[in-house]
C-alpha cells in the first residue's frame, strides 16, 4: 500500500493550508477545509476496513453516507499542517447511519474534525444537488473582505455589485454573486443550516463580521474563488475613501459575462 503522505490529496491540503496561512486568511486555528475524496484513490493508501475510531457527526449526514473526506482538525493551526499532516488532518468516511464519522487516518493526538464540521457537511449536501462535481468547502477569514464588512452594507446585491466593479475578472469568477448571512454564533447547526441554504444559490457566502465560506470542484478552484473576492475587497478598501473617477460599467460587465459564457445574476446589475 502506498504512503499516504505522498498522496495527491494530502499534498494539496498541505500546500493550500500553507498558502492560506501565508496570506493571513487563517490566523491561529481560524479556518477549516473539507475535501471529498474518490474512494478508489483512498484505497490506494488506506485499508478502508480499518476504522481507528468513530466520532459523532453532530447531525444526520445521511446523504453523504459512504463518502470519504480529508478534513482539518479542531483547534489545529494551518501553519502546522505542512510539517505534521497526520496530527492536523484526518481522513474519514461518513457511516451508513449518517450519524458517525469513521476515522481512517490522522488526528493522531486524539483530536477530531473541525468544530464547523456540520456546517461543512451541510454545505456539501447543498452544493452536490446544484453541482455533482462539487468536492470542496473552505472557510477562512480574509483580511480585506472582513474589513469591508464593517464599512459596506451587508446586502447581497449591493456587496456583489461593489465587488464586481473592483476587477474586470470578478463577474467571470463569481457570476453567481456573494451570499450574506447576518452575524450568527459559529460552531452551531443553526449557522450550518443557514449557510447550506445560501449555498443553493451561491458558491461564496459571507459570515458577517467573521469570514467567508467558499465551495468548488477542487482546492485550487475554491482557493482561487476566495482569492479573487479578497483581491476585489482589497481594492475597495484601498479606494473607498477616495473620489472615484472611473469604474467598470454594468453594460461592460454584461459583455464580459457573455464573452466568457457564464450564467450571471442579472438582477444584481443596474441595467435600466
Of 113, 125, 127, nearest to 33 by C-alpha is 113
Of 168, 146, 170, nearest to 265 by C-alpha is 170
Distance CA 21, CA 23 (A): 5
Find all residues with CB under 8 Å of 4, minimum gap 6, and list them: 10, 45, 46, 91, 105
Distance of CA 119 to the CA centre of its chain: 11
Active site residues: 116
Of 113, 127, 85, 112, nearest to 214 by C-alpha is 127
Find all residues with CB under 8 Å of 242, minimum gap 6, and list them: none
Helix (H/G/I), strand (E/B), else coil: 92: strand
Of 30, 36, 27, nearest to 63 by C-alpha is 36
Q: How far is CA 132 from CA 79, 193, 252, 253, in A?
A: 31, 20, 32, 28
Find all residues with CB under 8 Å of 69, minimum gap 6, and list them: 34, 35, 36, 37, 91, 92, 93, 94
Distance CA 52, CA 106 (A): 9
Amino acid at each position: 500500500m502506498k504512503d499516504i503522505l505522498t498522496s495527491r490529496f494530502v499534498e494539496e491540503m498541505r500546500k493550500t493550508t500553507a498558502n492560506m496561512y501565508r496570506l493571513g486568511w487563517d490566523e491561529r486555528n481560524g479556518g477549516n477545509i473539507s475535501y471529498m475524496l474518490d474512494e478508489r484513490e483512498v484505497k490506494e493508501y488506506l485499508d478502508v476496513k480499518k476504522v481507528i475510531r468513530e466520532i459523532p457527526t453532530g447531525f444526520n449526514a445521511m446523504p453523504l453516507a459512504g463518502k470519504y473526506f480529508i478534513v482539518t482538525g479542531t483547534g489545529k493551526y494551518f501553519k502546522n499542517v505542512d510539517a505534521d499532516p497526520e496530527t492536523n488532518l484526518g481522513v474519514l468516511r461518513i457511516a451508513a447511519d449518517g450519524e458517525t464519522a469513521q476515522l481512517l487516518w490522522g488526528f493522531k493526538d486524539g483530536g477530531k474534525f473541525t468544530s464547523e464540521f456540520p456546517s461543512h457537511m451541510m454545505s456539501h449536501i447543498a452544493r452536490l444537488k446544484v453541482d455533482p462535481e462539487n468536492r470542496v468547502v473552505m472557510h477562512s477569514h480574509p483580511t480585506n473582505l472582513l474589513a469591508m464588512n464593517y464599512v459596506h452594507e451587508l446586502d447581497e446585491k449591493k456587496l456583489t455589485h461593489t465587488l464586481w466593479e473592483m476587477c474586470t475578472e470578478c463577474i467571470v469568477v463569481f457570476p453567481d454573486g456573494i451570499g450574506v448571512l447576518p452575524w450568527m454564533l459559529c460552531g452551531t447547526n443553526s449557522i450550518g443550516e443557514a449557510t447550506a441554504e445560501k449555498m443553493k444559490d451561491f458558491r461564496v457566502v459571507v459570515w458577517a463580521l467573521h469570514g467567508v465560506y467558499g465551495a468548488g470542484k477542487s482546492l485550487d478552484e475554491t482557493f482561487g474563488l476566495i482569492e479573487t473576492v479578497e483581491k476585489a475587497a482589497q481594492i475597495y478598501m484601498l479606494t473607498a475613501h477616495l473620489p472615484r473617477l472611473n469604474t467598470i460599467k454594468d453594460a461592460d460587465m454584461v459583455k464580459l459575462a457573455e464573452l466568457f459564457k457564464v450564467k450571471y445574476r442579472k438582477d444584481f446589475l443596474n441595467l435600466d
